[in-house]
Structures are given as C-alpha cells and as structure tokens.
A and B are shown apart, each in its own frame.
Chain A
Amino acid sequence: MGSKYFAKLTLILFLISAVVAALLGAVNAITENRIIAANREKTVSAMKVVMPEAASFEEFSYKGKDPLVTEIYLAKGKSGSLGYVVKVTPTGFGGAIDMVVGVSSAGKVTGVSIINMSETPGLGTNASKDAFRGQFVGKSGTQAVTKDGGKINAITGATVTSRAVSKGVTSALEAVASLG
C-alpha cells in the first residue's frame, strides 16, 4: 500500500477516462454536423412561417447588448427587403424557449413561431397554438400579458410561458428598432 499502489489507481482511472474521452470525441465528430444541420433546418422552416413571402434569409450581424437576441436575419422577397426575422431565447418554465419573430420594415410583428421548448405539455406547450401566437401579429412596442398591464391574453395556467414569449417579442422588436 505505498505510493506504487496509488500510482496504479491513478493510472487505471486515467486510462478509463482517456478511453471515454476518445470515444466521445469520435461520437461528437459524427454527430456535430448533424446537430447543427437539424437546428438550422428547424430555424429555417420556422422563419418561413413568420415571413411566408420571403425568398431568402441573410444573416445580419447584431451588435446590441440584449442577451435574449441570438441571431438576426434580413428577409428578402422578390422586390427587396421585407423586414427582419429575429431569433430570441427567453427563459420559460422549463428552460430556454427558442423562437423566431418576424418584424416588418414598418416595425410591426408579422408572426411568431416557436422552434423548441421544454414547457409543460398541455399547458406551456399551448404557446405554439395559433390562438396565442396570433395575438402578437401587427403589434409594436413593449408586449406584456394582461396580468402585467399589457394586452396579451395569457395561456390558462401558463403565465410564466406567456410572459417569456411576450418578453421575447419585445426584445425582438427593440433589436430591430435599434438597427434603424
């Protein structure tokens, strides 16, 4: 039971960790691109929902400070720019909600679409229903649920989710306004 014993313990543990790390590296190399592609595909289809007329989306560099805004795309139609699509990730009940908000050149919401969320099924997940999302269309400025003095009717039993989505829309509108 001397230092030799401990060296052996360390070596075995190190070897196991090294093998695990190498295997993970391999699995990561295989899955990395697919994960990025899968996310990309979902984002693009969500962007098409909020800006149906757009023919292409160009990534736009966003230098603002709002941590909720992750990406901004310039939506291009046949006859020039239609406005922007903003990807925002407000925090809901079960974690981050990935959503995109379409904002017209006039600074009004053209649509809201949720890419991913981990909200309670049957409650928070109702945020992806038209009845809730549709309320934002045509709005501008700060959005809030009626409980907080705004005009958005919250989903029954899911105030946290409704607040998060409203916050996301507000951030998207502000980000576009800051672009000028």
Chain B
Amino acid sequence: MNIGKQFKDGLVSQNPVLVQLLGMCSTMAITTTLFNGVGMGLSVMVILTCSNIVIAALRKIIPQKIRIAAYVVVIAGFVTMVDLLIQAFVPELSKSLGVFIPLIVVNCIILGRAEAFASKNTVLASAVDGIAQGIGYTIVLVIMCVIREFLGSGTFGTGIFGVNGGGIRIIPEGYPALFLILPFGGFLTLGCLIAFVQWTANRSAEKASKGSEAAK
C-alpha cells in the first residue's frame, strides 16, 4: 500500500472527473456558486469514503452475483443518511443542491470506485482511496465554481463570504457573462478544463520524447 501514490492518483493522474471522466452530471449542474461546490464535494467525499470502507469490509461476504445490488443498497443508505443530516443541519445547502443530493446514489464515481477498488482492496486502502478520490473531485468542483461564478455572476464565494452570504463582488453588476452560469457554461468550462489537462499531458509527453531523442 502506498498512500502517497493513492493521493497522487486521486488528485492528478487518475482524477475522477478530469481523467476518469466520471460524475459529469453533478460536476456541470451544481457548480454555479462556491457554496454548492464545496458542499457537494464534501458530501461525495464522505459518502465515497464510508461506502468504500463498508464494501471493502464486506468484500469476502458478498457473493459475486449480487454484488452490484448490494453495493447500490449500501451506497443508497449512506446517501440518504447524508441527505437527512444536510436537511437538518444545513437546510440552505439541501435546497440549493435539490435533487442532486439523492442523485449521488447514481454518481458513477461511487459505484465505479466500489467496483474498481474497494471490492479488491483492504479496508484501510479503500478508506484512503475514498478520501483521495473525494478530494480530487472536490478540487475540480471548486475550480469550476470559481471560474463560473467569477465570470458568470462576477462574485466570489456566494453563500460563504460577504454580507449575508452574498459573496464578494469583483465585477460590477450588469457586466458579467451570464451564460457561464447557464447550462452552456457548464459544458464549456468543463470542456476547456479537460482540454487544459490534455494539453499539459501532451506537452510533457513531447518533452519526454524529445529528451529521450536527445539522449540518443
């Protein structure tokens, strides 16, 4: 087990959104304010870690044939718990994320990690995997939120900073490019973000190949 590598995988080389391309729906739908992004990211991280732990612990008991059904029940259970807790303690978040909290059940990241990692690894490694992948997911959400909120509504940190959680205004009202917080902005921002990741990957690959040629 290598915790450092697991974190590097979750954050960069195997980032759930940017590299594995999982969990697209929520990534584009709710990233309109920083509050939503942080809330969603943390919820997914908690659920992912818990379900990874339970599934890893039960991996020898659950028969192969019914494993997906069993995973889904475990995941749905954790999602409902988190949903109820959010409703009770952070009602604003529950309202602004709406149907996307229960929909974490079908977020491919969670079932994907259960199938690809937790069902084959120890409890401890699965817990670390859940945290690392969860942080990777949260970071992407936060980046998306900051870009879309800044360009689309001209504010930073709505729901967290500023007077009455109104956010810190950077661009005066009336000037921001509204379309960025609309569905189109979600597709565009994520597209550009993944393109940026591919661009850096291409560049380092080119450098590496040039380096090896030079060495010859």
Contact = CB atoms under 8 A, between A and B. Distances in A.
Do chains A and B stick together as partners? Answer: yes
Interface string A97-129: 000000000000000000011101111000000
Contact of B181 (A17, A30, A122): A122
B89 interface: yes
**A interface secondary structure, majority:** helix
A157 B178 contact: yes
Interface string A129-149: 000000000000000000000
A34 B88 contact: yes
Contacts of B149: 121
Contacts of B84: 24, 27-28, 31, 35
A179 interface: no
B162 interface: no
A34 B58 CA distance: 33
A23 B61 contact: no
Interface residues of A, number: 28
Contacts of B77: 20, 23-24
Interface of A: 8-9, 12-13, 16-17, 20, 23-24, 27-28, 30-31, 34-35, 38-39, 42, 94-95, 116-118, 120-123, 157
Interface of B: 32-33, 36, 58, 61-63, 65-66, 69-70, 73-74, 76-77, 80-81, 84-85, 87-89, 91, 95-99, 149, 152-153, 155, 158, 176, 178, 181-182
16 contacts: A12-B66, A13-B69, A13-B70, A13-B73, A16-B74, A20-B74, A24-B80, A27-B81, A27-B85, A34-B89, A35-B88, A39-B91, A117-B95, A118-B97, A121-B149, A122-B152
Listed from nearest, the 6 A-B pairs whose CB atoms lie closest are A20-B77, A122-B153, A31-B88, A34-B88, A118-B98, A116-B95
